[in-house]
Structure 1
């Protein structure tokens, strides 16, 4: 089982605030004694964030692509396996000794052949049946010898699987001989003690095997006859009753095992395991490693195991923006500055939501509340996230608290906020630096729901719109492709000039969008948003209103 870990992670299309707040808050919770806490990211870094981490010499957080609980997180006991030739008696002993209900059957390379269940053994040997069924022993003489812990006085073709009839020579000789008179001798398995008359009759009949109980033996001349008649003779220390019972339990498990047993891989999702346990028709599921070898048997009780991975969400509170699988693990905390989404948890959690300009501002204020100061590098990260989300403190989302925190963090980081911020935006404003138009749009992209309509908006900061106009047509085609592939009402890109403090919105939407959007249309699909810097506070509330209306 994996070691417990708590990941502090932002949204799927992380911006600088998302990455830096995750690192900063993870460090705060480490200082406060939370075990196993680590910073993570749910997507690729944009150019601006790359600049910040390189400038401050900070390791890129771990990438989480899917946090859905895996089978490896649930099962931890290594499987005890058996071969298909193992007699049922030995399997029952193993099940009792280990307090198990089933054992996987494997080949020599630990690859699955089936599953032997206690229930199946009970049904085969304890349920009422006719006399013929109770006498039937499906076994090989090698398995019979192993099960009886017997010595072979003479054996022939002992590896062959045979369908035998069991008779116990414990009655009067005449009655016993009469019972055998109508049987096929080559299918007879006779179990008897030190009763020479019955032994001789069995050998002379040419039965398939004679088992002598109580540690008894056979006369040399009778053994010679057995050799001539090809009668296997075994001697066991068990008494006759025990030997007869164990003979019936000498059937190799490959004759009784469940062959159509479902399997899962260690890296398969918990949900895959749950469905196979509920609807696979088998009480256990074989867990296989990457080489297809059995490593464990999973049962319904494994679904109750608490998964070792937990999350703290920063800079978002909507599961649609969270790392895939977030809805299947425990979320311990949410630290955010956005509107509240449709968020539900099974138990109370720490949820801090404050209308500040950035999540990094909120994290910095939590340091203060705890009586702590972030180290120099951490202060630089928090300053970077604050300046990025507030667009150098010019965004209408900026509060007096943000401005005061920027000064405080700048002093701790030994950085000039204005100069550092300009360097950040210069590094992140080159549109041609992106490998594709899709990467550019999705570098800082968020999805929203307005009633029944789903829409998404990306944002990129530039210094001047000249470069944007050079790639506008390519961007428009990619926006149309994204809208179709994601089934959205509208997909847009907010291009913000941080020097002029204004934005352009390039959007592909449904036919009624131009009549609803309410901004001056410069050309088809391109709108001028004078004074709009904040997607969160200025653009998204407007779009939510017009698209819902």
Structure 2
């Protein structure tokens, strides 16, 4: 089975983040060595939803954490033993599998206990007395299995042993004293002893050395409702191993049972495993059903999740747990942050207006035909990120890509872009929290931690209506103490201008210095639509 690689963009994903993940995963699945899964790091925006629905593409699954989980470990897919099965079966399986413990399950494959070599050894010692099979409610079927026996007559299904185990000798006087009602009698082919045992009320005769039972003996057994079991083993062997027919449930450990679900994180279970007395631990599904057994070595050898970062290169902008993942590729068009990797990786960073432009070039370089829906996704992302070529981040390469992709996707890109922007401007069904986080990123400049978001619309009136609530939301966020400053771009796509809202001590002063513009509570910035190329560089320089 191929290793899985998650292709994912940043948190609060925009259209480029989603479409580049989908498009690049499609390409990699045709040229790469692994299984590449497109994912998203947050809820999709109305604009992205419009794009996916237009090209009939399924929304990527949500990826919330990249820390290694139990499902990433190569644990044994061991089958469990049923609680009613003989303990000899657990002993045999442990030997064949070369492990020290087994999960015990009920009729629905739900884990109810665990049995180890030590538990089985205890059972051999404790089950040596003649009443052990009665005490442990041992099924007749277990006795038949352990002795490799054959039932000559009598009903054994759903019946348990009810009397002591007796080894009959050759003396009728001795037998008469030992055997009572419900006894299980181990004997050979002495007809007199066999009949005497049944007359005394024995419920089961175990005929050793494959002793035959004639018609008269079978008839008497049926009359007395006595079970006849035949085995090729001798009386000594039978007397030694019959105690191994006690059910596993009798000696399994059920209290304080440690078991894990596949989605639990390795880092969280390590302390629990270290303190556990067993070397193996059951892995279960959400309904408690057995999936396998996890060992301490499995935990140590668990591989990190493999990930390809698209449309970002800073771990803190990505999925939780990115620091513990193995980044194998990065495709991005932003400034290079503080990314560190253990091994060399494929890293393509270009000064384009969109990550999908990079993906488009990789399709060309690898001579892979771009299907209509993937062309539509990439074209949409480029139009979105460049605001239909109005952003200063737009390059001739972006424009050329749109012209070709629009033709493949069979769209008139100008009309389509306006429809897409209109969908993005529909905030009626969104809360202020959702609107603010549609396109929001956090940054660090020296000692200053700050965030910059962007809300774009083709309607200035709609932006004005949202302004007051968004400013209030920003102020509440500042009160949490996580960031020093928060900035929000209210971008008018048609007018190609931005009103910059500011929150936090010194934020408005910092913005005035960065853009050399006056403003009381916010700044009006003409010909400004790009966070990456116009807002972040100016703020970063002012913060130095």
Q: TM-score, normalised by structure 1?
A: 0.76
Partner residue of 2:106?
Answer: 107
Q: Is the 8 A contact 1:206 1:231 kept in 2?
A: no
Q: 1:378 to 1:266 in 2, by over 3 A?
A: closer
Q: 1:357 to 1:206 in 2, by over 3 A?
A: same
Aligned residues: 505
Q: CA deviation at 1:490?
A: 2.9
Question: Secondary structure in 2 aligned to 1:492?
Answer: strand
Question: Secondary structure in 1 aligned to 2:252?
Answer: coil
Structure 2 gaps, min length 5? 210-232
Distance in 1 (alpha carbons) for counterparts of 2:455 and 2:9: 18
Partner residue of 2:445?
Answer: 450
Deviations 1:281-318 (A, max 9, x none): 33222233343333433334544787797533211122
1:369 matched to 2:380: no
Aligned residue among 523, 527, 531 for 2:520: 523
Q: 1:291 to 1:355 in 2, by over 3 A?
A: same
Mapping of residues 272-283 of structure 1, within 5 Å: 276-283=272-279
Q: 1:219 to 1:33 in 2, by over 3 A?
A: closer
Partner residue of 1:140?
Answer: 133
Mapping of residues 72-221 of structure 1, within 5 Å: 74=73, 79-122=78-121, 139-141=132-134, 142=138, 145-146=143-144, 147-148=146-147, 159=160, 191=167, 194-196=169-171, 200-201=173-174, 203-204=176-177, 212=186, 219=193
Distance in 1 (alpha carbons) for counterparts of 2:92 and 2:33: 46
Q: Is the 8 A contact 1:483 1:491 kept in 2?
A: yes
Partner residue of 1:298?
Answer: 294
Distance in 1 (alpha carbons) for counterparts of 2:185 and 2:289: 39
Question: Secondary structure in 2 aligned to 1:219?
Answer: helix
Distance in 2 (alpha carbons) for counterparts of 1:239 and 1:220: 16
Q: 1:216 to 1:252 in 2, by over 3 A?
A: farther
Q: CA deviation at 1:48?
A: 2.8
Q: Is the 8 A contact 1:12 1:322 kept in 2?
A: yes
Distance in 1 (alpha carbons) for counterparts of 2:433 and 2:87: 61
Q: Is the 8 A contact 1:88 1:249 kept in 2?
A: yes
Q: 1:340 to 1:242 in 2, by over 3 A?
A: farther
Distance in 2 (alpha carbons) for counterparts of 1:371 and 1:298: 44
Distance in 2 (alpha carbons) for counterparts of 1:362 and 1:513: 35
Question: Secondary structure in 1 aligned to 2:519?
Answer: strand
Distance in 2 (alpha carbons) for counterparts of 1:345 and 1:145: 60
1:479 matched to 2:478: no
Distance in 2 (alpha carbons) for counterparts of 1:242 and 1:37: 58
1:532 matched to 2:528: yes
Q: Which moved more, 1:97-106 or 1:205-214?
A: 205-214
Mapping of residues 18-29 of structure 1, within 5 Å: 18-29=17-28
Q: 1:117 to 1:424 in 2, by over 3 A?
A: same
Structure 1 gaps, min length 5? 127-132, 163-187
Q: TM-score, normalised by structure 2?
A: 0.76
Question: Secondary structure in 1 aligned to 2:22?
Answer: helix
Q: 1:85 to 1:389 in 2, by over 3 A?
A: closer
Q: 1:386 to 1:109 in 2, by over 3 A?
A: closer
Partner residue of 1:513?
Answer: 507
Q: Is the 8 A contact 1:261 1:286 kept in 2?
A: no
Q: 1:272 to 1:21 in 2, by over 3 A?
A: same
Q: 1:298 to 1:161 in 2, by over 3 A?
A: farther
Question: Secondary structure in 2 aligned to 1:249?
Answer: helix
Partner residue of 2:215?
Answer: none
Q: CA deviation at 1:484?
A: 4.6
Partner residue of 1:490?
Answer: 485
Q: Is the 8 A contact 2:22 2:60 kept in 1?
A: no
Q: CA deviation at 1:335?
A: 0.8
Partner residue of 2:214?
Answer: none
Distance in 2 (alpha carbons) for counterparts of 1:201 and 1:27: 83
Aligned residue among 422, 434, 446 for 1:439: 434
